[in-house]
Structure 1
């Protein structure tokens, strides 16, 4: 009999019956066609946390050899949004700013399969998909000298703070010196307590709550001090 734990969205090998769905979503000026399925996170619509994060993401200006990462990409809405936004800037801004290399990490086999299909359907070329537990990918990324200007995540809150701290420790170790991590956390699922744990982990870092909406907090953490304008993260106030 299948283990019920195998049907969590953060399970590596979900065993539930696969029921496909088709979504057409629009977030922050970009439309997406998405295939989803049972056994993955939020199959009926882009979840509220991911939507709030996308609406308020701070997007670094394009630079040569810049890498971006999403941890827990699911079936791909945030990664696809990033790809569309940078391609729009590349084709609409004078000088054609360079395109970043986007990475997407996902543990759930079914979600990875959907992610690859959705990247193809949305004409998102050259995204590097990291299949498997992100914690198992950290050493290989380090060995190849890969660092990230920005890391985005709607983390798997139900795995517990211990697992999430491991994910964030690995992400912190992969940041470029001027990089940052931006994430969304539901307050009732321990956002203040988890933020305090991150501050205890990196007391010399800077921590910013950029947005509070619908019970969610959008938080940015950085090894360097930063100043923000509303337009940096959508200005949804």
Structure 2
């Protein structure tokens, strides 16, 4: 079975090592991974900013590049949510595109959802030591139903999880929200960082790079150089 990996802009530009961890996990599960080299953005920033024409162009491009695969895996709840949930809005006035999207949509999975519900992986305990806490990204949780999947995988890998207070609350990133409303975003991420610290865990694990960069950036700017901020793919692949 062939998996098309939608790498996401932020992983490609900011943390490419996470992409290699994702490939490792999917290949270990017995799938062939293909990374279409011409892929770019899913269109979410344009869509959220009201630029529907640009978002539609990017959605059509993504559809062309990925509809050939048996599955499409996205290591980000926000990009996965854009593709699975909001492309239907962009294609609503075009029966042909809606038909093509209707065939693509059931094949699109967030990484941990794919590993649990499609690949049905059974991970051996790894070497990661120390408790972690988990941050639920807004899009993954609310648009894709990603909640139990990452926790089940961490348990399989023998990683001790300590839940933080308000683990389902936003980190304050929200894409362009963090740029447009910087003061509000900062207040939200300060509360998230306080909850991470209060959990006593030495690392926060998550599945969305936007949240990852926002949380890590705020921790470092406020003097916390010890708390690790890790994508779940890194932990599960043993790359930390």
TM-score with structure 2 length normalisation?
A: 0.32
Q: Is the strand fraction higher in 1 or 2?
A: 1
TM-score with structure 1 length normalisation?
A: 0.32
